Amino acid sequence: MSTTQAGTPGSAAERRTEEVKVSDPGTPPATGTTVRGWVRPGPTAKEQKYDLLLGLGMAVAGVIGTELARGVSPNPVELGIGGVEAYVLSAAVALPLCFRRRWPIPVLLVVSVLFVVAGERATFAFASNLITQAAQFMAIYAAVAWARDRRLMKAAVGVVFVGMFGWLVLNFVQALQNDEIKGPNDGLLSPYVSGVVLTLALNVLYFFGAYFWGRTAWGTARQRYELEQQATELAAQQQANARRAVIDERLRISRELHDVVAHHISSIGVQAGGARRVMGTDPEAAKSALSVIEDSSRTAVNEMRQLLGMLRAADPDLDVEAPAAKAPQAGADRLPALIADVNGEGLSVGFHQIGQPVQLPETVSVSVYRIAQEALTNVRRHSTARSAHITLRYLGDSVELEVIDDGRPKHAPVGSRLGHVGIRERVGLLGGETEIGPRPVGGFRVRVRIPLDPQNRPLATEEKQS
């Protein structure tokens, strides 16, 4: 008997509730996701179509192989009933392979029975027709690789192996009785013993080779499923982390806006109190105070509308913890202090300001500071850069911040890039543009442009999405 290759496993596997022991054949090495109770799913329509073509093709090849074996036989051959029995058996052994992945265990049993019948009824074709040998090999492989009931599979394979080797032993006994194995050469072992050892070794390789190859295919499919599960879990975690980073950034902005609005409300209260006191004695001073109140109230309303828009976009199911005690209010005017702190941490940072400085809205000023802070943090943690440069440009209707460095990404695992997500989210809420990525000449660039006219900025995420 000889071996031949069979089809490779097809579709990815899915989880089922049935218990399977870890010691089952094909259990792959641990991949981080332990799948117990896994059952390989049935074949896809494409795989069933492939099996149908395979079985039909092998049946035709089996008939051709039988005719060739008849032609090369040195002795007259018996074709059996009607002169076609040998041809029918050679085709019948291969035809069940049309369903080898759909019903693997019944196919194994049917092919095994026909295999023995062909060996008894058409000996010349059985011995010389490789298609018959290949059909049995593929039936064993398919049963081990595709059977969903692993206990039933083991029982069926055990019955087939016992039957096959029992039949082989019976043939050895008959050959000994008929003195069929002879040879003119005197070796270490007699011709009969040599023939028995050689035939037995080939059959062990044939049957157990098919079994272990099928077990490997089943284990590979199971491992592929585990890897797909890991990939799905990692993708879900990455999406959740990115979403959490967006929400955290919005909540951070909301707290900063709370401080801005509180400042305006306090200013309104002070100006209103002063106007009330001088209303009768100094109308001009009262008028000036009311003008300040008007400007502060409009600014506060704009800031509050942005705040409410961001809070509506945040996930209502998340628990918002009380804000921690904060350092002095961040702003564009504190960039020099930020650069001074970073320069003391092994990174040389330059600063350049272009254009006529103007009073930035406090939300924009805070965002400029936070973006520069995040960009410099990324340079220190994830880049080999020894120097960086910050440029702040006042462009009349907008302000632009650019942070560049001269380094390369470190070979160590890089960050999650959630800082970039936060920068884009912050700038997007202010109606600005973001450019983040490597520079053509080397290094990395973070550039943002934020409009200064509140009318050009979206007031809520809902408006931006609509």
Say if residues 3 and 210 touch (Cβ distance below 8 Å).
Answer: yes
Structure token pair of residue 6: 């069979």
Residue type at 51 in one-letter notation? D
- 141/153 Cα distance (integer angstroms): 11
Helix axes 362-382, 418-429, angle to 10 degrees: 160
Going by pLDDT thresholds of 50, 70 and 90, the confidence category of residue 9 is: very low
Say if residues 112 and 160 touch (Cβ distance below 8 Å).
Answer: yes
C-beta neighbour count of 149 within 10 angstroms: 13
Task: Give the N- to C-terminal CA distance of the chain in Å, as an integer.
Answer: 72
Nearest to 107 by CA among 121, 93, 128: 93
pLDDT digits (tens, 9 = 90+) for 82-116: 788 888 998 999 999 999 999 999 999 999 999 99
Average pLDDT value for residue range 343-356: 84
Structure token pair of residue 369: 């500071």
Q: What is the dihedral of CA 183, 184, 186, 191, to 10 degrees?
A: 0
Q: Quick one: how far is CA 281 from the chain centroid?
A: 76
Q: Which of 22-36, 77-91, 255-269, 433-447 shows the lowest mean pLDDT across its residues?
A: 22-36
Average pLDDT value for residue range 418-446: 85
pLDDT digits (tens, 9 = 90+) for 111-151: 999 999 988 887 877 777 888 889 999 999 999 999 888 89
Going by pLDDT thresholds of 50, 70 and 90, the confidence category of residue 310 is: low
Structure token pair of residue 271: 């100006």
> Is the model's pTM score more than 0.75?
no
Strands lying side by side in the sheet with 348-354: 348-354, 387-394, 398-405, 444-451, 433-438
